[in-house]
Copies of this chain bind each other. A is one copy, B any other.
């Protein structure tokens, strides 16, 4: 049986999970996959603490000190890269520094396979990383980078190869989903729900990337590349977070039998791909409306096999660790057969302003007569059919007023709002909010 030697860079929550599973399942993997996967070395800045935390033999770690200096740590990483007996390197350090990018590229240049959960790095520097893998004939495994344990990457790469993926739609960030779920279930404000998420360990001390849609955007960018062959620049992706979602927005959603979710959405439309991360009004007949807490879910619409839903845990030490180990096993089994060619298709990112959806526009207005007529007339003037007009909440003399449209382009609705602003700035309080409605 061939031996397959793996080094792990970074032994925190995820790296520790990888080591733990490899130690536990070694025999099972050897039996099922005919590969003897060994941990060659683990490089971590706190070897003693990480060994104890995850129950990993201390001798697997580089260095003898309890804490390594940056220089020592770097030296050990360079030794791993130079070690010809190591077949594959797991990167679980995280972040998007040039320092880390260089390490990842050097791993590939040393003709070692790379497995990573680093969605931010792949979203920002996927071009370079995948090109280096292709040039050096080695593989990049990144199942763990999108929706943790859900096997969405392999589903797209290896399962739906006898099909055409028409759209991808999902809840891909557990923290924001936890916050939105709590706001809905317990009527909390955004700030209170965020505080609760932090208290229970569902949100980091700095939760920016989770709540501003950035983390979800990283995952969507990776999926767009894979499902549609879109060479996407992350900066070009339209990303809106949940920071401005209020308790009142949830009430409006509930009134129309819907739930607000942060949705990653991408649709292949011939030679272009519509893609965005945006809070959406998800109708309760859509299964995504019922995905709560830290769970992730992805809904694919395929040309032949039609609708698929995959649901699972989006994060966690062993959950994400198991996805990484799955990648290691796959590469150890199939390395000689895997094509590392990038599949870039002749498609480009479409302008989200052209994206057709039913939309809900939420207007803060003064509480004076004539507002309903002014707003709905302006919307009608843009050739938009109105589906429903929402209830008003009269608080402190102000009114919140919603219009839900039949499918139209975002640009049409924006033009209507611009006209209202131009002609009746006196009736608006704040900036109207636009949320797509997902059936």
Contact = CB atoms under 8 A, between A and B. Distances in A.
Nearest to A325: B162
Interface string A288-306: 0000000000000010111
Contacts of A309: 309-312
Contact of A305 (B154, B160, B323, B335): B323
A308 interface: yes
B154 A159 contact: yes
B321 A162 contact: yes
A302 B322 contact: yes
A327 B148 CA distance: 25
B308 A311 contact: yes
A200 interface: no
Count the copies: 2
Given A162-B328, A326-B163, A304 B333 contact: no
A330 interface: yes
B308 A161 contact: no
Interface stretch (A31-39, A64-72, A81-89, A393-401): A31-39
Given A28-B164, A154-B154, A309-B310, A34 B322 contact: no
Contacts of A341: 34
A325 B159 CA distance: 9
A163 B322 contact: yes
Contacts of A333: 337, 339
Given A325-B161, A326-B160, A21 B304 contact: yes
Interface string A189-222: 0000000000000000000000000000000000
A287 interface: yes
A149 interface: yes
A42 interface: no
A289 B312 CA distance: 17
Given A333-B339, A341-B34, A163 B305 contact: no
A35 to B, nearest CB: 9
**A interface, how many residues as a size bin?**
35 or more
A323 B305 CA distance: 8
Q: Which of A287, A304, A326, A339 has the most CB of B within 10 A?
A: A304
A231 interface: no
Contacts of A271: none
A318 to B, nearest CB: 4
Given A154-B158, A161-B330, A312 B308 contact: yes
Contact of A304 (B308, B319, B337): B319
Contacts of A143: 159
B150 A308 contact: yes
A262 interface: no
A329 B154 contact: no
A308 B149 contact: yes
Contacts of A311: 287, 307-311
Contact of A318 (B149, B229, B304, B324): B304
A339 to B, nearest CB: 5
Interface string A42-56: 000000000000000
Contacts of A229: 32
A37 to B, nearest CB: 10
Given A162-B324, A305-B323, A335-B337, 11 more contacts: A21-B304, A151-B159, A154-B155, A158-B158, A158-B330, A161-B329, A162-B326, A306-B312, A309-B310, A311-B311, A336-B336
16 contacts: A21-B162, A25-B162, A33-B161, A34-B341, A151-B159, A154-B159, A159-B326, A162-B324, A162-B327, A162-B328, A163-B325, A305-B313, A307-B311, A307-B313, A310-B311, A333-B339
